[in-house]
Amino acid sequence: MIRIFWAELSKDLLLAYRRKGDLLNPLLFFVMVVALFPLGVSPAADFLSQLAPGVLWVSALLAALLSLDNLFKADFEDGTLEQLLLSPESTYVIALAKAVAHWLTTGLPLALLAPLLAVMLFLPSHAIPTLVVTLLLGTPTLSLVGAIAAALTVGLKKGGVLISLLVIPLYIPVLIFGASAVQNATQNLPVQAYLAILGAMLALSIVLAPFAIAASLRVSVSS
């Protein structure tokens, strides 16, 4: 079981490494939204520092969403997805490995890049650790939940639009608790409760989402 998890994870990471352009896409999107925002609205420091938590979280969320469409597409088109489903090993583990690979190539880099962009938006420096922690807790949930929608729509020609429609309502709780935690941190208010809820959502999605991803993949392949 662990063997197949590693096999799938390392294959996906190797493929991502060999296609570095796709790897940079969500990061570039993240940087551009955050960099263009002050130009379009106002470069005033106190104004930006007020908006920073929301802007950072929203753009990180959209960047993660942007990359979902390709999560299973290539595997579906070249037939390796079929072969994965024909593995005697559990599809749950395979689905989990795919979601983890997606997080390692999008969510993790986004969380690591966020402090740099937070400085650009004048986010108070004592709130930066909270920003990173919320992103580290929140983005895996985004990858896991997003993978369900990606798996459901992989067989459709124009699945991209449908993914956004399916997934945005489910992303909203993560966004609310993530951004609120950072907001609270800027005002030196306690954030533990928010982090606990983000952690609970992550725990729940680690346990349940792979089942849904696996079932959705079977439905998509069987049409």
Contacts to another protein by CB under 8 A: 3-4, 7-8, 11, 14-15, 18-19, 74, 77-80, 82-89, 94, 218, 221-223
Q: Which residue's entry shows tokens 């990061």? A: 27
* Residue 32: other Cβ atoms inside 10 A: 12
Q: 47 or 89: whose CB is closer to another protein?
A: 89
Q: 7 or 168: whose CB is closer to another protein?
A: 7
- Residue 3 Cβ vs another protein, minimum distance, rounded to whole Å: 6
Query: Cα–Cα distance between 143 and 100 in angstroms, integer?
Result: 8
Query: Cα–Cα distance between 160 and 170 in angstroms, integer?
Result: 16
Three-state SS at 222? coil
Q: 15 or 104: whose CB is closer to another protein?
A: 15
Q: 14 or 193: whose CB is closer to another protein?
A: 14
Three-state SS at 90? coil
- Residue 61 Cβ vs another protein, minimum distance, rounded to whole Å: 28
Residue type (1 letter), 113 = L
- Residue 29 Cβ vs another protein, minimum distance, rounded to whole Å: 22
Query: Cα–Cα distance between 12 and 93 in angstroms, integer?
Result: 14
- Residue 215 Cβ vs another protein, minimum distance, rounded to whole Å: 12
- Residue 44 Cβ vs another protein, minimum distance, rounded to whole Å: 46
CB 174 within 8 A of CB 141: yes
Query: Cα–Cα distance between 41 and 113 in angstroms, integer?
Result: 22
Q: 10 or 125: whose CB is closer to another protein?
A: 10
Mapping DSSP onto H, E and C, the string for 24-54 reads HHHHHHHHHHHHHHHHHCCCCHHHHHHHHHH
Q: 94 or 154: whose CB is closer to another protein?
A: 94
- Residue 97 Cβ vs another protein, minimum distance, rounded to whole Å: 10
